[in-house]
Copies of this chain bind each other. A is one copy, B any other.
Amino acid sequence: MSAPQTTDSPVLEAARRARTAAADLAPAPRTLRDAALAAIADALTARTDEIVAANAEDVSAARAAGTPESVVDRLTLTPERVAAIASDVRDVIALPDPVGEVLRGSTLPNGLELRQVRVPLGVVGIIYEARPNVTVDAAALCLKSGNAVLLRGSSSAHASNTALVAVLRDAVTEAGLPADVVQLVPGQSRESVTELMRARGLVDVLIPRGGASLIKTVVEQSTVPVIETGTGNCHVYVDERADLETALAILVNSKAQRPSVCNAAETVLVHEGIADAFLPRALDALAQAGVTVHGDKAWQQAGGETVVPATDDDWAAEYLSYDIAAAVVPSLDAAVEHIRTHSSGHTEAIVTTDTAAARRFTALVDSAAVMVNASTRFTDGSQFGFGAEIGISTQKLHARGPMGLPELTSTKYVVTGDGHIRR
């Protein structure tokens, strides 16, 4: 826990200020943290013009750089969108406070009273891409859970993020908390990210939110502990005993309801015993939804020219588009083996009417979420009833699956005696 020596690096100085601010924030009662959130929501509303004006700079720079319109749309803030962000902050106020929750408690045989209590992690670093709403969402969730946050957004949203963070810091100060509980990481170079990743002892956890290459870089280079989020190569397995209508609905929904997100399906596996009945109907339904099938031999035979022959790369692909890899498998166990080999460990679904198959699939598949007769699209903090989500962890340590407020905490043991010593 000893902190690195002082240097002149602006990133490390920001981290050091965050650490100091975190120590003040950690014991702050809920009322104070909620008041800061309310001040943030009010300030976002009051200062909408300023935020939208700053955002307009980013938007015009993006358009000038030839950025695709879909990305420009994600970057854009309108008064309505700012109002929605403020409303989300108010929703966070209403969530249960994770800090101070007693997870375990007992009186030991010698009379010592043992309590395991949730505490904030300390300083949370978030590295994320274009969407400026993440700036406020992440800050609100960190503040609610008693953490200081270091925000490292995309340089394409720098003007927006600078304006938003100015609003957040003013509001937090007004509520009586140190401004440095919310900071934008200084500098827009790659080096500033590298420094953040090496700030072990100052930053308690880094959460990268964005594309696979960003996440891979952070995971490989960071000495600060990382929570890996959001890479989703999700599978739908249609079992031998699946209801065909159910299977079609779940497949199309998993793939096409919103293909750009991590819980969208990228591969469909079909048991050979139901392939003759299912493949023609699935091909029709996927075609109607505008989905291109990248199929193995069996799918190619069933679909002819419409099916793109799948290569090995397709099994690992996270398309995030109207594409799906498709294979026929000889058994449930073969489906599990395929998933084990190629999945990113996010979400897999089985469609079956057979209780034994459902039980075996859920036991053998080792992913953050396993769906039985439900769309992969349900893996989501809001859908799961957590009320908020900082990301979806695809790693096994600390947090797995949608991460809400409790996942932004650690614990400590408080042990109370009356002079107890060990014999």
For residue A344, CB closer than 8 A to chain B, the reply is yes
* Cβ–Cβ < 8 Å partners of A372 in chain B: 414-417
Closest CB in chain B relative to A44 CB, distance in Å: 29
* Cβ–Cβ < 8 Å partners of A374 in chain B: 112, 415-417, 419-421
Closest CB in chain B relative to A383 CB, distance in Å: 7
Docked CA distance A121–B343 (Å): 16
Binds B, one of A85-93, A136-144, A297-305, A391-399: A391-399
* Cβ–Cβ < 8 Å partners of A385 in chain B: 106, 108-109, 114
For residue A26, CB closer than 8 A to chain B, the reply is yes
For residue A316, CB closer than 8 A to chain B, the reply is yes
Task: Using C-beta atoms within 8 Å of the partner chain, give the interface range for chain A.
Answer: 35 or more
For residue A271, CB closer than 8 A to chain B, the reply is no
Q: A90-111: which residues lie under 8 A (CB-CB) from chain B?
A: 106, 108-109
Do B397 and A397 touch across chains, with their CB atoms under 8 A apart? yes
Residue with the greatest number of chain B CB neighbours at <10 A, chosen from A345, A379, A412: A412
* Cβ–Cβ < 8 Å partners of A190 in chain B: none
Closest CB in chain B relative to A217 CB, distance in Å: 12
* Cβ–Cβ < 8 Å partners of A33 in chain B: none
* Cβ–Cβ < 8 Å partners of A412 in chain B: 366-370, 400-401
* Cβ–Cβ < 8 Å partners of A257 in chain B: 421-422
Docked CA distance A422–B119 (Å): 35
Closest 9 CB pairs of A and B: A374-B417, A253-B421, A396-B410, A1-B345, A398-B398, A374-B420, A246-B419, A369-B413, A377-B422
A375 contacts which of B219, B250, B422 (Cβ < 8 Å)? B422
For residue A23, CB closer than 8 A to chain B, the reply is yes
Q: A362-394: which residues lie under 8 A (CB-CB) from chain B?
A: 362-364, 366-375, 377-379, 383-385, 394
For residue A8, CB closer than 8 A to chain B, the reply is no
Docked CA distance A220–B197 (Å): 11
For residue A42, CB closer than 8 A to chain B, the reply is no
What secondary structure prevails in chain A residues at the interface with B?
Answer: mixed
Q: A22-80: which residues lie under 8 A (CB-CB) from chain B?
A: 23, 26-27
Give the residue name and chain of the B residue nearest to A1 (CB).
Answer: B345
Do B121 and A396 touch across chains, with their CB atoms under 8 A apart? yes
A108 contacts which of B3, B383, B422 (Cβ < 8 Å)? B383
A384 contacts which of B1, B26, B114, B418 (Cβ < 8 Å)? B114
Q: Mark A140-157, 1 if CB is under 8 A from B, else 0.
A: 000000000000000000
Closest CB in chain B relative to A421 CB, distance in Å: 4
Give the residue name and chain of the B residue nearest to A108 (CB).
Answer: B385
For residue A411, CB closer than 8 A to chain B, the reply is yes
For residue A18, CB closer than 8 A to chain B, the reply is no
Docked CA distance A34–B381 (Å): 36
Docked CA distance A100–B308 (Å): 41
Docked CA distance A12–B109 (Å): 45
Docked CA distance A223–B26 (Å): 30
Q: A234-258: which residues lie under 8 A (CB-CB) from chain B?
A: 243, 245-246, 249-250, 253-254, 257
For residue A2, CB closer than 8 A to chain B, the reply is yes
